[in-house]
Structure 1
């Protein structure tokens, strides 16, 4: 879990308890947590205001989907993973090469997807 040490990680999650648990665990691993953001607009504002190394995105945020955030992160070349309980077929085709972790997500798998030596931002 040392891969998170010193990294600035954006959490985009609308379920308070999941977001708080992820935040606490990332803090324990030496990451600086950005957010959590519960809405697309809030996440986009954080991306503009704060330097981010990577992001963990829940796909469904209340009545919104996180895809505008994913598009902005991709445009800025910031790695991210989708952490969701949805079927991967639900993710738009343009994001099919990105890492996907099922909820509840294991931070070890997320760390490897984001920062592992052989894990590119877009998976083949």
Structure 2
């Protein structure tokens, strides 16, 4: 049984192949995918109402930024990480405490960043 078993995750990613890869990696860790969404409005709706333990947010969603989702999660006290090719430089100051997982990444890097996001020790 994984330390991530049963963790409820929201995935916000607009590239379907990348979303499927992230979902597979998370499921391999024992996580439960609550929703996997590609559009900002739907992501905001789910982030506002769903029972979540953590979220993985791509920054660029078809030209829109996912920062409104991050703000909703922040207000609800739900931890989140950014999954992006922009690196830390793409994150605004008010969200700079969120871990950033730089694309492309491995399953091990996702696991480490997930542990960091949830406040647990990273395994190296």
TM-score under structure 1 length normalisation: 0.86
Pair 1:2–1:116, CA change in 2 (3 A)? farther
Shift of 1:117: 2.7
**Number of residue pairs matched by the alignment:** 119
What are the residue-to-residue correspondences of 1:1-124 with 2, within 5 Å? 2-105=2-105, 106-117=109-120
Gaps of 5+ in 1: 120-124
Gaps of 5+ in 2: none
**Farther off after superposition, 17-26 or 59-68:** 17-26
Shift of 1:67: 0.2
Pair 1:84–1:8, CA change in 2 (3 A)? same
* In 2: Cα distance, 1:9 partner to 1:51 partner: 9
The SS at the match of 2:3 is helix
Task: Flag as ranges the 4+ runs of structure 1 deviating above 3 A.
Answer: none
**Farther off after superposition, 67-76 or 80-89:** 80-89
TM-score under structure 2 length normalisation: 0.86
Q: Deviations over 1:22-73 (max 9, x none)?
A: 1122122221102211011111121234200000000000010000000000
CA RMSD of superposed structures (Å): 1.8
Pair 1:99–1:82, CA change in 2 (3 A)? same
